[in-house]
Amino acid sequence: MDQDETMMGMALDEARSALAEGYLPVGAVLASDGTLLGRGRKGMESNHLDHAEMVVFRQVFSGDYRYTRADPISLYTTLEPCIMCWGTLRHLPIRRLVYAMSDPYGGCAAAEVTPTPPRHLSRPLEVIAGVRQREARELFRRFLDTTTESFWINGGASEFVAQVRCD
Ligand SMILES: [Zn+2]
């Protein structure tokens, strides 16, 4: 198992904890060259701010910190980030995004700011998709099969649901 697969395993562990608590199983970790910096998961039903990625961003980047873009920091997340998490990730000193399952409903990993402002031109982001995707999809499938959240029962995020159930 390579380093990305190992670190994604920690994000999947967070996702499993979210699922056990009844929440959409999104887990995220930040790591610097294989060293864990922080971990987070979705911990409530309906909140547009406390996504797994935002939880771990706050753990690692609140207050004073010493990290810069010279550090090889990667974000690992079990689902392609939304526009808020993508934007925050581009703002932080993070060089790589590694995610498991793509999200054709709200995923923004391919988003571009046009015209690209100089700050972002000088700060490229490497994106790697599909790491341990099968395991992430299985957790989402189990969530969809068991959730009592009205958003999902009422057919919310149909493109995401189709991605989970695509085989
Ligand atoms: Zn998000």
- State in Å: Cα 71 to ligand 1 middle: 23
Q: What is the pLDDT of residue 48?
A: 86
- State in Å: Cα 165 to ligand 1 middle: 21
Band of pLDDT at residue 69, cut at 50, 70 and 90: very high
Tell me the average pLDDT across 23-48: 93
Q: Pick the catalytic residue: 5, 53, 80, 135?
A: 53
Q: Cα dihedral sign for 111, 76, 69, 49?
A: positive
Asked whether the predicted pLDDT for residue 167 surpasses 80, the reply is no
pTM score: 0.95
In this predicted model, what pLDDT tens digit does every residue of 121-156 receive, in sequence order? Answer: 889 899 999 999 999 999 999 999 999 999 999 999
Q: What is the pLDDT of residue 112?
A: 85
DSSP states of 108-126 as a string? -TT---SSPPHHHHTS--E
The question of whether 53 is a catalytic residue gets the answer: yes
Contact 149, 45 (CB under 8 A): yes
DSSP states of the chain as a string? --HHHHHHHHHHHHHHHHHHTTS---EEEEEETTEEEEEEE--SSS-SS--HHHHHHHHHHSSS----TTS-EEEEEEE---HHHHHHHHHTT--EEEEEE--TTT--TT---SSPPHHHHTS--EEEE-TTHHHHHHHHHHHHHH---HHHHTT-SHHHHHHHT--
CA dist list (Å): 160 to 42, 129, 131: 17, 16, 18
Q: What is the pLDDT of residue 26?
A: 97
> Across all residues in the chain, what is the average pLDDT?
95
Q: What percent of the chain has pLDDT over 90?
A: 86
- State in Å: Cα 122 to ligand 1 middle: 24
Contact 127, 69 (CB under 8 A): no
- State in Å: Cα 74 to ligand 1 middle: 16
Tell me the average pLDDT across 38-60: 92
Tell me the average pLDDT across 33-46: 91
Q: What is the pLDDT of residue 47?
A: 79
Band of pLDDT at residue 78, cut at 50, 70 and 90: very high
Band of pLDDT at residue 13, cut at 50, 70 and 90: very high
